[in-house]
Chain A
Amino acid sequence: MSKPILSAKDVVVKFSLRGQILTAIRQASLDLYEGQTMAIVGESGSGKSVFTKTFLGMLDANGWVDSGTIMFEGQDLAKLKTEKEWLKVRGKKIAMIFQDPMTALNPLRTVGMQIREVLEMHQGLRGEDAKNRTIEILGQVGIDNPSMRYGQYPHEFSGGMRQRVVIAIAVACNPRILICDEPTTALDVTIQAQILELIRKLQKELNLTIVYITHDLGVVANVAEHVAVMYAGDIIEYGTAEEIFYDARHPYTWALLSSLPQLGIKGQPLYSISGTPPNLFTEIKGDAFAPRNPRALKIDFVHRPPYFRVSPTHIARTWLLDPRAPKVEPPEAIKAMKAKYARYAT
């Protein structure tokens, strides 16, 4: 593959909360390639949103990038300080859409004005030009009768239509990277399918690089070419969608997949992960998932595992891949997925 469009390396993000320091991201690294569709999955609190927010300088005021680099178009985004510097990147080169389209839109301004504002600010369009371009974009995101909709307020739109407007705002400036933070969680399944289809269409038309942030593995399977699994502020496994779904190696990825009702057998208890995610206020020793992992090795509690390479596109941070590790069988549901995949292949 070509050179990465964005390259985050050993990023550490900390927050100061009531006098205590919380480490939200612990040396996470990620490369994004042009035109790629990547999904970051993880539970709430795993840091998936926080990590991508560092690409846009959108951390809350009490948070900061403590170390690491985020290279984008020859500059290190981690070094940007002022709002003025960020405005050249945020919205213009890297845009983001959020989960809840109602809170992302301003209820007091018409939809047209909210899209137009972006064009005026970043592209310097004025008057009729700005209006025409806005209407064109509304049509592009699949809103019927865009010139009439231009003058309407968000409350006159349904949930799915509102999310289309949010997407319109995000792509108005032809960004290179679009980050979608749980774009369909608040929507019904049938609407969800339409929104995912729209994002896919726009990706082709505008040659976007897309990062999905989601906990819904069904959505991930639908859209992603590559998947990064996050746990406790770290990317613990990364690979193509096939590698993650059919040949996962990290016990956390196993646990996440096996706890899905779709892979469960009716009448039998679902696999469930015991315990709770680690406390990020204290330093995590060894593998962060070890205390919840019934298959944990002794070393998991002492040393943090490095990345082991499974294939040219697949890495995982688990001691199980060390040549000296004992052979540990994945759970039944994972083996079943793998067997199913083998049947496809033949």
Chain B
Amino acid sequence: MITEEREVLVDVQNLRVEFKVRGRRPFVAVRDVSFQIYKGETFGLVGETGSGKTTIGRAIVRINETAAGVIKFRGQKINGVISKEVDRMVTQKIQMIFQDPMASLNERAKVDYIVSEGLYNTKKYKDEDDRRAKVEKALLEVGLLPEFASRFPHEFSGGQRQRIGVARALIMEPEFIIADEPISSLDVSIRAQVLNLLSALQKDKGLTYMFISHDLSVVRFIADRVAVIHKGQIVELAETEELFKNPLHPYTRALLSAIPTPDPRIEREKRVLVYDPSCHDYSKDKPKWVEIKPGHFVMGNNVELSQYETMID
């Protein structure tokens, strides 16, 4: 695949997100992160707890303020101070699906209201009939029955609730969906259903996904390209198969070595690598973000990069 020719939908350059801590220096959750997401692809963002992966997603949908850097959507800047029209466009075109379907649905509202809340906010419907028709269509698209609209979230199973979360995003006719650990809190047998639903919707509607997860085996299955994030910095980015074949950064290698495989033979011979950040000597030779091979980016200083060169086959 020649990446240069593809249309860039989301462009993040040198993003920095800080959280203010009273009386102390601000905590930098995301530092100097740059990546591009192409139209129609699934971009995986993988990292451990506290790595800043969710913060990046939230910065794109304008929940978290950015401290520095530029986020562009369809070539237009969408972070910092923007006009009302652009803000409305962002609210409509970029949607988010959350991890815990119990916590992210208003338990005192009926499904009808939950799904159409975005419509109410943007007044994107002609009349009541139009709104009801849209809710019905969104519910059908995620494999739920239209009559579920008059029920409450607690009447549904985990998988169904997550479908409601997807329906609520779909009704806005978004182009870009940020799915933040959408299947982590679901049961194994339900996970497959939700993954299949997301893939089918992507095919039908030409959606672009950012799939945030800590589970590399799921990301490997669903993502076209994967970025690995560690302590607020992306350390490696490549096409999925390339990343799994040629992991370069020691953190990526440690992460890959730890993935559990449902195969006793492989598991018993598995050797888990441990990542020790002190293995980098960045005192003089500073690390930089380099495209070491077309489409494969890695963070490293000169010594490391020349070492990485030899590792690629």
Contact = CB atoms under 8 A, between A and B. Distances in A.
B264 A273 contact: no
A222 to B, nearest CB: 4
A221 interface: yes
Nearest to B270: A222
Contact of B217 (A193, A215, A218, A344): A218
B193 A272 contact: yes
Given A272-B189, A272-B193, A190 B262 contact: no
A188 B192 contact: no
Contacts of A273: 189, 192-193
Q: Which of A197, A256, A262, A271 has the most CB of B within 10 A?
A: A262
B264 A188 contact: no
Interface of B is mostly: helix
A341 to B, nearest CB: 7
Nearest to A218: B260
Interface string B173-191: 0000000000000011101
Interface in A245-291: 245, 255-257, 259-264, 266, 269-273, 276
Contact of A190 (B200, B254, B263): B254
Contact of A341 (B254, B262, B265): B265
Nearest to A240: B264
Contacts of A259: 188-189, 191-192
Contacts of A43: 187-189
Contacts of B265: 242, 341, 344
A189 interface: yes
Contacts of A188: 48-49, 214
B184 to A, nearest CB: 10
B267 A255 contact: no
Interface residues of B, number: 38
A93 B207 CA distance: 55
Given A189-B214, A190-B274, A259-B188, A270 B263 contact: no
A192 B258 contact: yes
Contact of A272 (B48, B196, B222, B272): B196
B220 interface: yes
A217 interface: yes
Contacts of B262: 217-218, 220-221, 245, 257, 260, 262-263
Interface of A: 43-44, 159, 188-190, 192-194, 197, 215-222, 224, 241-242, 245, 255-257, 259-264, 266, 269-273, 276, 337, 340-341, 344
